Structure 1
């Protein structure tokens, strides 16, 4: 179903695909940079502590600051302005990072790139949510995520190729990312001109700038946030998975990025599959997420290469659901005028739960892998119970 295409200036599916192209190019830029952030900082004299603190602070900023940018975007109603400003900060910071002469300049630029993501994400997801009301929430977010992952693959490979050709010179390797960065901003300006008010895809009232309904977020959203917190807290990170593979001598270091790329490919496929399923059966499809999360450590933390690799690919499938179908559900639970706020809280919940879960998984890995597997299974059973309560409430 496609709603009000003439009023919007572009058909909903075309809007989703072009927005997906923006994300593809943006991921080309910042994932390319993130693939060498640690090595770049080290080349400038940073210690392991500095690298850890700066990259951790960047991720905290990328998630935590959305608690501020989301409500501000809702209050102003200027979703395009927030989106373009955030992307601009990212695509400017990355090429400059290659020119950084001191470690502290580089640190500021690394964090600035992540702040750009925090600035744009709630507003961007809100704009996308309008169009997915016409294309189907699950399918729209799934296609966007799949295109996003293409950029996440191309960027690091491009940077690696330029580094190989230039003998490890970071300036041209990161400078080449200016080209897709310029394309990001050009496409955003074009989209804004063609579709100044994407809210018409969903409902005419949503297109009125600053028309923010008063009141609290729905109770169902808070139940959903509890489900997200539970399933994320019991989700192992790829960092821990790759640590296990190296420590156990199951995989050579050079093959870890290849495995990560494979997980990202599975991410895209899982996003598409669950997105289509979401539009047919609704949030019940999310029951697969705790099951996948529980399977990850049971497979990945074994002493057999094939089983451990399968665990990493299952991790990729779970990530695909997190990045697409979870966002689609937020759009269905929250009215348009409060949606950027909800996306900000959504990111904050994931960030806090990821931090707690990462610490828990790391501690349990050092203590006992069987205990880790059992604890994760118990957490995911709790997450399923929360999802069941949400589904019952919505009936």
Structure 2
């Protein structure tokens, strides 16, 4: 049986640990760095989700953009960050400047919020959104690398689950805050963008004050641990470079994780389309549409930590694929002829479970296969492939909806996701030797 706490202890402490199994587990409390980064993400997500909740109405109703113009901006907003994630990961690995690059990304996104007050044309708004997504792309991999470097391998899934839970709490608070501001103010959009900037600035301040530049490494285990046996052993640490980052694909587990992430991303329909399909099925009024993402966020919030801990116990791969099984059930519910009152609760709960079982879990799995010196680059490599695949799926799904209708498009996506899940099942990770039991005596 795998023992969670693997640090060596004095001989007199071993019997006590054997008598009190819970004592070892307490040593793996989430690191302060993870909690600090979770706070930064929570505050920043309040800011970003405030804007995301009102942006469609602001662009279409406030500025009078056509649906085509909005479609182009939405593509920029959701796809641009994928193009700079590798750059952010590479810059962070050079000299171990994870906090510096993350700070640059968070700061850039914060500065974009007040610029929305003065951008009134499609090119200007597109430039502001591109800069905001550049900030997100720069910060994501360094932030996840800081989480993985501060957490022991055997509790890494839990650490990412805690971070994603705090991040998702911001995704719940943001739309509600924007909703209240719009109801209480005359120039609602301007007020939302102004408050959003102030909140984002607070997140940057938390990052500066409470996140260390180099988090303390967790104590290595005294016995063999679950590791990446396919990673090439080298006495000399790899030097960070874009070439070295791409060379990580030579590692069997990294390559298979990247392939699985891209494969499943190609059949993962965008969140916005899921909410539109749900609105069409139930006839949800437009004024309540912005609250649909709260159902996904609530399920994500409740399940992120439990599923992260489950991934630590049974393996990240099983939980990750199980999350896509939940997504298939959500698609099936939307395709069914059922119109009951419980349909939105079921679909949104399954949608949130999908994210809870895949978002942080994938990063926790990837961190175990990537050397510490290239941690940001390796995580960015997988994130970039997944993001580009999902962006391609969104474009294809939108075209299929236009040509064949929403039901046929979703049916095609469901069939494609089923095939991709079955293919992913065949891509098993490299076999790892069993971890021997620790003798409590």
TM range (shorter): 0.7 to 0.9
**1:27 pairs with one of 45, 58, 71:** 45
CA distance in 2, matches of 1:376, 1:47: 32
Aligned to 2:230: none
Aligned to 1:70: 89
**1:322 Cα deviation from its structure 2 partner:** 2.4
**1:373 Cα deviation from its structure 2 partner:** 3.3
The answer to whether the 8 A contact 2:113-2:196 is kept is yes
Deviations 1:318-349 (A, max 9, x none): 11222211111111111111111112111211
Pick closer, same or farther for the CA change 1:304–1:238 going to 2, 3 Å: farther
**1:198 pairs with one of 215, 224, 241:** 215
Pick closer, same or farther for the CA change 1:18–1:269 going to 2, 3 Å: same
Gaps of 5+ in 2: 8-28, 221-236, 435-441
Aligned to 1:262: 295
Pick closer, same or farther for the CA change 1:54–1:101 going to 2, 3 Å: closer
Within the alignment, does 1:280 sit opposite 2:313 as a pair? yes
The answer to whether the 8 A contact 2:98-2:213 is kept is no
CA distance in 2, matches of 1:257, 1:41: 14
CA distance in 1, matches of 2:347, 2:133: 29
Q: How many residues align?
A: 378
For the aligned residue pairs, the C-alpha RMSD in angstroms reads 2.7
**2:181 pairs with one of 137, 155, 162:** 162
Within the alignment, does 1:325 sit opposite 2:344 as a pair? no
The answer to whether the 8 A contact 1:236-1:297 is kept is no
The answer to whether the 8 A contact 1:12-1:135 is kept is no
The answer to whether the 8 A contact 2:299-2:348 is kept is no
**1:12 Cα deviation from its structure 2 partner:** 5.4
Matches for 1:109-148 after TM superposition, within 5 Å: 109-133=128-152, 136-148=155-167
Matches for 1:98-247 after TM superposition, within 5 Å: 98-133=117-152, 136-192=155-211, 195-201=212-218, 212-213=238-239, 216-217=247-248, 218-247=251-280
**3-state SS of paired residue (1:46):** coil
Aligned to 1:352: 388
Aligned to 2:231: none
TM-score by length of 1: 0.87
CA distance in 1, matches of 2:205, 2:411: 52
Pick closer, same or farther for the CA change 1:202–1:328 going to 2, 3 Å: farther
**3-state SS of paired residue (2:217):** helix
TM-score by length of 2: 0.78
Which deviates more, 358-367 or 15-24? 358-367
CA distance in 2, matches of 1:356, 1:109: 22
The answer to whether the 8 A contact 2:117-2:193 is kept is yes
**3-state SS of paired residue (1:201):** coil
Within the alignment, does 1:390 sit opposite 2:429 as a pair? yes
Pick closer, same or farther for the CA change 1:99–1:358 going to 2, 3 Å: closer
Pick closer, same or farther for the CA change 1:237–1:65 going to 2, 3 Å: same
**1:44 Cα deviation from its structure 2 partner:** 2.7
Aligned to 2:439: none
Aligned to 2:324: 290
Which has a greater percent of helix?
1
**1:244 Cα deviation from its structure 2 partner:** 2.1
**1:369 Cα deviation from its structure 2 partner:** 5.3
CA distance in 2, matches of 1:66, 1:372: 27
The answer to whether the 8 A contact 1:145-1:271 is kept is yes
CA distance in 2, matches of 1:353, 1:255: 30
Deviations 1:353-390 (A, max 9, x none): 2123334545277346555433332222112222xx21
